[in-house]
């Protein structure tokens, strides 16, 4: 496959969560056309076995390759930690993954205790275990599976009472263990930051991957001489979903130059 500068950037996630990554990429690289695939039908990936996660990642990748994407961002922590090694070995296009930023958190902590809120699939992955084992041995990591959070977000219940009660339950171990850095290990979770802050207060720093992934995307495109030469936005950024578009439209309501489309596989 020949990669061209004006080809789009492809991004996929198990739903709308990866739009938090898309927004950072679009902010840093507004002249790059993007194609976003929201596999909401199969969300959340975090409860699925590894072979299913890889199978879904392959389908998503091939959808984006058929759209001539020059680079693919796996905007899903679970898909990254379970499938990106296979994707990189199988396809020639560059891949950028999303890993929970526990290393930056470990370097910033004063209490020597950091928390990570993530899916079961991410926390149980070999890639996460390897990263965690390479941290300073004096750092304690409090892990919490965010059961139910993705489902509520995908069901348009972001600001519901059910979400508030579930968040209080999931965040309690972090407060109890005196963490000062909270890592969000799922791209859906940045949409919960205002509610999380209301529960945990201002003494705990919240860290997500969005800005770092956008910078890495730019670095890879520059390194491979694939940055667009465009000087104006003369394109539409395409979004695809395999369920109702209501939630996707809601999180993108202030974004211009986009189209939202349906797909099925």
Describe the crossing of helices 19-28 and 210-223 by its angle, rounded to 10 degrees. 50
Which class for 130: exposed (0-12), middle (13-18), buried (19 or more C-beta within 10 A)?
Answer: exposed
Catalytic option among 56, 76, 184, 213: 76
Neighbours of 14 (CB within 10 A): 33
76 included as an active-site residue: yes
Contacts of 26 (CB under 8 A, 6+ apart): 32, 34, 237, 255
Which class for 260: exposed (0-12), middle (13-18), buried (19 or more C-beta within 10 A)?
Answer: middle
- Cα–Cα distance, 260 to 76 (Å, whole number): 20
Both tokens of 102, joined, read: 């526990």
SS3 at position 54: helix
Catalytic option among 116, 186, 206, 226: 186
- Look at residues 193, 177, 3 and name the one whose alpha carbon lies nearest to residue 94: 3
Both tokens of 4, joined, read: 């061209």
69 included as an active-site residue: no
Beta bridge partners of 11: 36, 73
- Output b/e per residue, 15-28; b: 16+ Cβ within 10 A: bbbbbbbbbbbbee
- Cα–Cα distance, 41 to 39 (Å, whole number): 5
Both tokens of 35, joined, read: 């194609």
Which residues participate in catalysis according to the annotation? Answer: 76, 186
């Amino acid at each position: 496959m020949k990669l061209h500068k004006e080809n789009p950037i492809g991004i996929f996630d198990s739903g709308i969560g990866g739009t938090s990554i898309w927004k950072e990429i679009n902010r840093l690289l507004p002249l790059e056309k993007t194609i976003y695939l929201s596999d909401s039908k199969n969300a959340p990936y975090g409860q699925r076995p590894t072979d299913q996660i890889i199978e879904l990642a392959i389908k998503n990748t091939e959808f984006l390759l058929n759209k001539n994407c020059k680079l693919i961002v796996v905007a899903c922590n679970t898909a990254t930690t379970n499938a990106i090694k296979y994707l990189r070995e199988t396809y020639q296009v560059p891949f950028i993954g999303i890993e929970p930023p526990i290393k930056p958190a470990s370097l910033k902590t004063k209490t020597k205790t950091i928390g990570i809120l993530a899916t079961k699939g991410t926390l149980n992955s070999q890639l996460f275990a390897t990263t965690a084992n390479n941290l300073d041995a004096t750092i304690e990591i409090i892990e919490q599976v965010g059961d139910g959070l993705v489902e509520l977000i995908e069901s348009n219940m972001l600001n519901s009472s059910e979400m508030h009660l579930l968040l209080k339950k999931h965040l309690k171990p972090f407060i109890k263990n005196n963490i000062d850095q909270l890592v969000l290990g799922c791209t859906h979770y940045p949409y919960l930051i205002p509610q999380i802050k209301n529960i945990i207060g201002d003494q705990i720093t919240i860290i997500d991957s969005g800005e770092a992934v956008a910078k890495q995307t730019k670095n890879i495109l520059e390194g491979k001489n694939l940055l667009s030469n465009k000087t104006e936005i003369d394109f539409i950024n395409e979004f695809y979903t395999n369920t109702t578009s209501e939630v996707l439209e809601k999180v993108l309501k202030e974004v211009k130059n986009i189209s939202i489309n349906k797909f099925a596989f």
